[in-house]
Amino acid sequence: MSITINRRDFTAMLLATGTTARYRRPVSTPDSAAAMPHATININMFSKGLEWMDYDALTDTLVAAGFNGIDLTVRGGGHVLPENVERDLPKIVEIAKAKGLAIPMMVTSIVDPGNPMTERILKTASQAGIKHYRMGYLSYDPKLSIQETFQKHKSTLQRLADLNHTYGIQAGYQNHQGTNLGASVWDIWYLVQELDNRLVSLQYDTAHAQAEGVNSWANTLRVVSPQIGSLPLKDYKWEVVDGRLRTKYAPIGEGMVNFKTFFQRIKEANLVRPFSLHFEYPLLNEADKDLSVTEKMKKIIPVLNRDVRKIQELWQQS
C-alpha cells in the first residue's frame, strides 16, 4: 500500500528539522567525497526497523531527517525481498534518486556464493549503481578446529570475491558482538587480509569493536584500517540484567562510544568510506503503535535528525 503525504505536511516535517534546502539536492559522488574527506560527512541510514514504511514514506522520512542516503535492507523481511529484487530494487533506487538520496550500500544475508539468489541480488544491485553490501554472518563449525573453520570460510570468501569481481561490487563483513565468527575484529582481519579489499572488506562497527575491546580497539583499528570498506555508527551503554552484563543501545553521544577519537583515527587514515547510521533503540513508544503512518513519521523524524546532527557535530569536533 502506498502512503500519500500532502505537501503541507511534508513541508512541515522538513521545516521542523531545517532540511528544506536539501530536498532534491544533488546526490554526492565518490569523487566529490574523496576530494574533501574531512570537511563533511555523508550519512546513510540503515533502514532496519522502518520496513513497515513503503518506499515513498521511507524516502520522504529520510530526506526530512537530513540523511544523504540509505543503507537498504535487501533480505528476508527487508525493504526489498530477495525473490523480488529485480522488480523492487531498481524501483526504490529511482524513487530515492528523484528525492536527492543515494543508495550506495545494502544489507543482505549473503554467505553462499553458489546460491543462485546471491548472483541475482549482486547483478541487480550492480546494475542499480549499488557498490557495497553487507554479508550475512558466518559461524564457527563445532566439528572443526578454529583454524580449520577459518580455512573453510577463507575458501568461501575467495569464491565470493570472484563473483564480486564479475559485478564490480564490494562485500563487507561486520564485526558484531556475540558468538558468531567476527565478534573479534581479529577474526575478520585474518579472513580478509589476503583478499582484494575492493572485493571483500571489513564493515567496521565501532560500537561493537569498542564493546569487545574497551581499551584495545584503537590498536586493532590501526591494523585493520586497510581492509575497511564501510563504517556503521551507533552508541551503547553497559547495563546489568539478572546479574549479567549486556549492552543497551542509546542515542548517539549518550553512550560509551568514543566517537571523537574514532573520527580522529578515521581522518588520520583518510578512510573515505560509506557511513551507515544504525538505530537499535526504539524510535516509537508502545502508545504510538496505533497512530497513522503520517503521525508516526512526524514523531520519528526529529529522533532520526537528532542523531544525524550529533554525528555531524562530533565529526566537526574531532
Q: What angle do CA 272, 171, 182 make, to 5 degrees?
A: 95
Percent of the chain scoring above 70 in pLDDT: 88
- DSSP for 246-263? EEEEE-TTSSS--HHHHH
For helices 293-317 and 259-268, angle between their N-to-C axes, nearest 10 degrees: 60
Mean pLDDT of the region 290-297 = 96
Question: How high does pLDDT run on average in the chain?
Answer: 90
**What is the model's pLDDT at position 213?**
86
Q: How confident is the model at residue 8 (pLDDT cuts 50, 70, 90)?
A: low
Q: Flag whether pLDDT at 9 surpasses 80.
A: no
What domains, with CATH codes, occur in the chain?
7-317 (3.20.20.150)
Contact criterion met (CB below 8 Å) for 119 and 157:
no
Phi and psi torsions of 131, nearest 5°: -110, -5
The per-residue pLDDT for 15 is 58
What's the pLDDT band for 180 if we cut at 50, 70, 90?
Answer: confident
| Pairwise CA distance, residues 195 & 154, whole Å | 9
Res 286: pLDDT? 93
234-279 pLDDT tens trace: 999 999 999 998 899 999 999 999 999 999 999 999 988 999 999 9
pLDDT at 101 over 50: yes
pLDDT at 197 over 80: yes
Give the strand pairing for 102-107 and 43-46: unpaired
Averaged pLDDT, 96-108 = 98
Work out the pLDDT band at 29, boundaries 50, 70, 90.
very low
State the pLDDT at residue 170. Answer: 98
For the chain, percent of residues with pLDDT exceeding 90: 81
Q: How confident is the model at residue 17 (pLDDT cuts 50, 70, 90)?
A: low
> Looking at residue 120, what DSSP letter applies?
H
Q: Is residue 22's pLDDT more than 70? A: no
pLDDT of residue 36: 42
Q: What is residue 11's predicted lDDT score, i.e. its pLDDT?
A: 56
DSSP character at residue 231: E
